[in-house]
Chain A
Amino acid sequence: MGNVCGGFGLLVSCVGLLGCIGAIGGDGDSDSSGPGSEPAACEASSPPVVLRYLTRREYENTIRDLLAPPETVTDTFAPDERVDGYGANAIQAPSSTQLAMFVDAAEKLAALTVEERLDRFVDCMPADQGCAESFIVAFGRRAFRRPLAADEIASYLADYQAIADEQGESLGFEVVAASMLASPYFLYLGERGALDDPEAHAFDLASRLSYFLWATMPDDALLQAAESGQLGTHAGVVAQVERMMADERTSAMLGVFAREWLAVDELAESSPKHPDEFPEWNAALADAAERETGALMERVVLEGDGRLASLLESREAFVNAPLAAVYGVAAPSGESGWVTLPETERSGLLTRVAFLARTAHASQNSWVLRGKTVRERLLCNSLPPPPPIADDSPINDDSRLEDEACKGCHTLMDPIGTGFDGYDPIGAFVGGEAPGFVSGLEPGAFEGGIEGSALLAGSPEVQACFAKQMFVFANRRSGTEDTCAIGALGEELALSNGSISELIITLATSPEFIGKGAQ
């Protein structure tokens, strides 16, 4: 088989990595670390607000709020393009096949609008005098999340008239609705930064706030806040953000974040298990485990103490009967419910089925995947991709810790993974020795998943990384040009004793997020 690990400069690139740990938010020379001090101002170098189109989930949620269709519409859409694991659609334009899907969906939804949902927008019939203009104004405001300009209303009215004259008023309405639902003003989020128009910036901010905090379109109150100028002041933005954080729609955002943070979204697809060894594993169980990850995030932030450490150490779990069976606890009384997991076996998200199954192969745990995921998602270390030939060795292999060409990277990953060997590839507790070590952390050694979780939960590095993760999620950019802002964010998170909701509020009211809006 020859050279198992190959030499691709990995040693060099991974040896340098340890030096980077702890430097997530910049050079560490910031003078803003004193209690109560304001964070350093970073906006001078801030890149423009990202331009992106709706993710599948955002599209689905938006259509739900706008039209409440009887069935889902995004099943055939292309998967979202990600930024650091978070669904973003911020780099490429939609491909021609995806554009066709957008147009098809818009046509179908337009028919639904005119046939069954018209009274959500107007109280007239298509043939009534002036009804088309009323519809354009009302539907446009909701679909574009801003009022239409006079010339836009005129253009849409002309489109309507041309079709209405030939094919009747109803089909004229359909063309208007379909055009709006396929329009970039419906599909994209961003900032019309080339316009010198505070009101435009306020409406764009309203959309960004809504898709960050709720993963869906703004409500009337938020649009009203943009229109009235409230979003033009920092205090006004804070007031809206606090209002929104108290709304149950926040849970959708928290669930998406948690799943994408730990890369357990699409768990059923990404993590097949060997059916002979794990007959209980199926798509429904994977979905339940994925749901559990989001539910714990929601529980901790919305009902619990809101601290990052609790995410990593809570033993509360939202389970159904099959998932309860994997955990070895009694099923909840209803179809799903909250249970407390065994004290000697479980801790927070890293000792749960979703994370453990995602970081294992079909029939074996993977030290590499578990260690790599902790490095990348909890410590924000970026590891170089393995050389192509690195695949050709056993899944778990001690020799990679000795081999000169391999050990540079593998000493960073594998010893973390061994600490989680007390769980099998579907996350069932099997016990046994599980010595682990996280190089770069003090103390690095741990025994088993509970100790490992406690080590990470108490680590300032993990806290700083979490701030970065939430920054990337909020702004849907990788943060390479935002090291100052991210550093300050990490410091704030430390000052707030790891409060996730305060972190979210800080982010939503930060200069990087607000862009050209209120300063």
Chain B
Amino acid sequence: MNPRISRRQWLSAATAAAFGLPFLRNFARADSAAPLRLVIVWSPNDGQWVSQYETPLVNGALPASLPTFLTPLEAFRDRLAVLGNIDNKFEGGHTSIGHALTGIDWVGPNNNDFWAGGISVDQHIAQAVGVQALTMGVTCGAKNGKGRMSYAAAGTPIDPIEDPSAAFATLFADVGTDAAELAAKRARKRSVLDRVAADLQRFQKEVPAEQRPRLEQHLDGVRTLEKQIDSGLLATCDPTAPGVTASGDNANAPETTRAQMRIIAQALGCGATRVATLQLGRAGGSFTPLWPGEGLNIGLHEHELAHAHYLEPDSAAVLADTKALEAWYSTQLAFLLGELDAIPDVDGGTLLDNTLVLHVKELSRNHATNAMTYVAAGGPSAVVGNRFTDFAGRPHNDLLLTLCHKMGVDSESFGDTSVTTGPLVF
């Protein structure tokens, strides 16, 4: 296990950069135009709704006193675009996670696993801009539609990487390897993947015809890995090892969350990808926020907390816990923004200046999926900061389409075309 090194190393690295020392080697090859990056964070339940409506937000500048769920983001106020009243057109309650990034209804009938019906926007954008999307998660649960957000295609979910150490090893395995050794290593990996692909083709002919499409999917996956051998995913910068191994232990969830965020920031900073997602738990939630170190002492599973609020809408204690938990999610978002802001970008600004971060939620009020509130953040090319916009029921698909456009991917619609009307302005 790599020893944990303080994230403040980034600051010393930034200092080094300021003195013109070589810091992130890959930056040397880049020109000064920085591309926009995209990070989508998902979290469960409807705490934002509970929190937001203590002080209803209205069109225009954010109020001087932010609602509880936004207060941890005060330092980034000028980077925030709060998106209100967006309507996710698909039914779902605690199964709506599959709609969040796909914007399309479930795959067919008898789909008891709730697999989503199309490619997710992160994968679509990544393919269009020629990178591999980074799919991360924390305690995402069993492999069914309630535990998966990203999809390669209809009914084809992508398992999030839940272990920071594993993610780090995969992303940055070749950091520090000298050129000759790297070439040899890549030649071996290519040989392995070529043989696996050949074995898959042979195996395909041997199994009954109805089983072949699945092996074709497997083969597509192997070809994707082959393409990555020489791609930017094998970054050549100097990232910091996380020192955290996901144990699935509830007590470690906060630390794992931040370790995953740090890896996302580093992956973007190292040019390993331009698109990342982070799924914090499964539909309905995975955590019991009994985290004294985080200032939370909530002994209920977060799903039970969400329901406690419906059952006891007048309970001050439940309301306080709900707000505190949602504020915690915003605190994590602020951590991510801070990480991005601490990494210098090729254009002389910070990574945050050239990143669009979107925090999507599962639900609005009472398990409904209309009137959703989301928080977007980033630099001037991503959002107009310090603003709340009431989108008056515009479809969620329009938001997905907007992500495509902001990332430079030309599309007329995304997901179900019948519920897409056009891009949003924020």
Write the residues of chain A forming the contact surface with B, with a CB cutoff of 8 angstroms.
1, 48, 51, 75-76, 78-82, 91-101, 103-104, 106-107, 155-156, 159, 162-163, 166-167, 171, 174-175, 178-179, 182-185, 188, 190-195, 200, 268-269, 272, 274-277, 283, 361-363, 385, 387-389, 391-394
Give the chain A neighbours of B193 by CB distance below 8 A.
Answer: 103, 182
Contact A175 B184 (CB under 8 A): no
Contact A92 B156 (CB under 8 A): yes
Q: Which of B245, B290, B310 contacts A392 (CB 8 A)?
A: B310
Give the chain B neighbours of A190 by CB distance below 8 A.
Answer: 207, 211
Q: What is the bound-complex CA distance between A160 and B311, given in angstroms? A: 66
Give the chain B neighbours of A79 by CB distance below 8 A.
Answer: 141-143, 147, 159
Determine if B218 is an interface residue (Cβ-Cβ < 8 Å). Answer: yes
Q: Which of A78, A175, A188, A191 contacts B192 (CB 8 A)?
A: A175
Give the chain A neighbours of B189 by CB distance below 8 A.
Answer: 103, 107
Q: Indicate the member of A103, A174, A184, A363 with the most B CB atoms within 10 Å.
A: A184
Q: Indicate the member of B144, B155, B304 with the most A CB atoms within 10 Å.
A: B304
Contact B170 A104 (CB under 8 A): yes
Interface-facing stretch out of B65-73, B91-99, B341-349: B91-99
Q: Which of B169, B205, B307 contacts A194 (CB 8 A)?
A: B205
Nearest CB on A from B212, distance (A): 9
Determine if B236 is an interface residue (Cβ-Cβ < 8 Å). Answer: no
The interface bits of chain B over 81-111 (1 if a CB of A lies within 8 angstroms of the residue's CB, else 0) are 0000000000111110000000000000000
Give the chain A neighbours of B142 by CB distance below 8 A.
Answer: 79, 82
Contact A179 B195 (CB under 8 A): yes
Contact A94 B248 (CB under 8 A): no
Q: Which of A75, A166, A192, A268 contacts B187 (CB 8 A)?
A: A166
Determine if B424 is an interface residue (Cβ-Cβ < 8 Å). Answer: no
Contact A192 B199 (CB under 8 A): no
Q: What is the bound-complex CA distance between A171 and B181, given in angstroms? A: 12
Contact A362 B301 (CB under 8 A): yes
Interface-facing stretch out of B11-19, B220-228, B327-335, B399-407: B220-228
Give the chain B neighbours of A106 by CB distance below 8 A.
Answer: 192
Give the chain A neighbours of B258 by CB distance below 8 A.
Answer: none
Q: What is the bound-complex CA distance between A91 and B191, given in angstroms? A: 28
Give the chain B neighbours of A184 by CB distance below 8 A.
Answer: 196, 199-200, 203, 215, 218
Contact A194 B158 (CB under 8 A): no
Contact A167 B188 (CB under 8 A): yes
Q: Which of A95, A182, A277, A363 contacts B159 (CB 8 A)?
A: A95
Q: Which of A80, A283, A388 contacts B249 (CB 8 A)?
A: A283
Give the chain B neighbours of A192 by CB distance below 8 A.
Answer: 203, 206-207
Give the chain A neighbours of B203 by CB distance below 8 A.
Answer: 184-185, 188, 192
Give the chain A neighbours of B211 by CB distance below 8 A.
Answer: 48, 51, 190
What interface size band does chain B fall in?
A: 35 or more
Determine if B64 is an interface residue (Cβ-Cβ < 8 Å). Answer: no
Contact A179 B196 (CB under 8 A): yes
Q: A76-B161, A92-B214 are in contact. List 10 more A-B contacts (CB 8 A).
A: A92-B143, A104-B166, A155-B198, A167-B187, A182-B196, A183-B196, A194-B206, A276-B299, A362-B299, A392-B311
Smallest CB gap from B307: residue in A: A391
Contact B217 A81 (CB under 8 A): no
Determine if B209 is an interface residue (Cβ-Cβ < 8 Å). Answer: yes
Q: Is the interface of B mostly helix, strand, loop or mixed?
A: helix
Q: Which of A82, A104, A156, A269 contacts B169 (CB 8 A)?
A: A104
Give the chain A neighbours of B184 by CB distance below 8 A.
Answer: 166-167, 171
Give the chain B neighbours of A98 by CB distance below 8 A.
Answer: 159
Nearest CB on A from B181, distance (A): 10
Nearest CB on A from B201, distance (A): 10
The answer to whether residues A391 and B299 also contact, given A96-B158, A183-B195 and a CB cut-off of 8 A, is no
Smallest CB gap from A186: residue in B: B199
Q: What is the bound-complex CA distance between A183 and B195, given in angstroms? A: 8
Give the chain B neighbours of A156 by CB distance below 8 A.
Answer: 195
Give the chain B neighbours of A97 by CB distance below 8 A.
Answer: 135, 158-161
Contact A195 B206 (CB under 8 A): yes
Nearest CB on A from B210, distance (A): 7
Contact A362 B304 (CB under 8 A): yes
Nearest CB on B from A271, distance (A): 10
Smallest CB gap from B205: residue in A: A194
Nearest CB on A from B174, distance (A): 12
Q: Which of A101, A200, A272 contacts B301 (CB 8 A)?
A: A272
Contact B141 A361 (CB under 8 A): no
Q: Indicate the member of B95, B144, B188, B192 with the most A CB atoms within 10 Å.
A: B192
Q: Which of B207, B222, B249 contacts A99 (CB 8 A)?
A: B222
Contact A96 B225 (CB under 8 A): yes
Determine if B26 is an interface residue (Cβ-Cβ < 8 Å). Answer: no
Contact B157 A389 (CB under 8 A): no
Nearest CB on B from A263, distance (A): 11
The answer to whether residues A275 and B290 also contact, given A51-B211, A93-B215 and a CB cut-off of 8 A, is yes
Give the chain A neighbours of B307 by CB distance below 8 A.
Answer: 391-392
Nearest CB on A from B368, distance (A): 9
Contact A178 B159 (CB under 8 A): no
Q: Which of A75, A81, A183 contacts B163 (CB 8 A)?
A: A75
Give the chain B neighbours of A51 by CB distance below 8 A.
Answer: 207, 211, 214-215
Q: What is the bound-complex CA distance between A138 and B310, given in angstroms? A: 63
Determine if B152 is an interface residue (Cβ-Cβ < 8 Å). Answer: yes
Give the chain A neighbours of B91 by CB distance below 8 A.
Answer: 388
Q: What is the bound-complex CA distance between A336 and B242, given in angstroms? A: 36
Nearest CB on A from B293, distance (A): 14
Nearest CB on B from A256, distance (A): 16
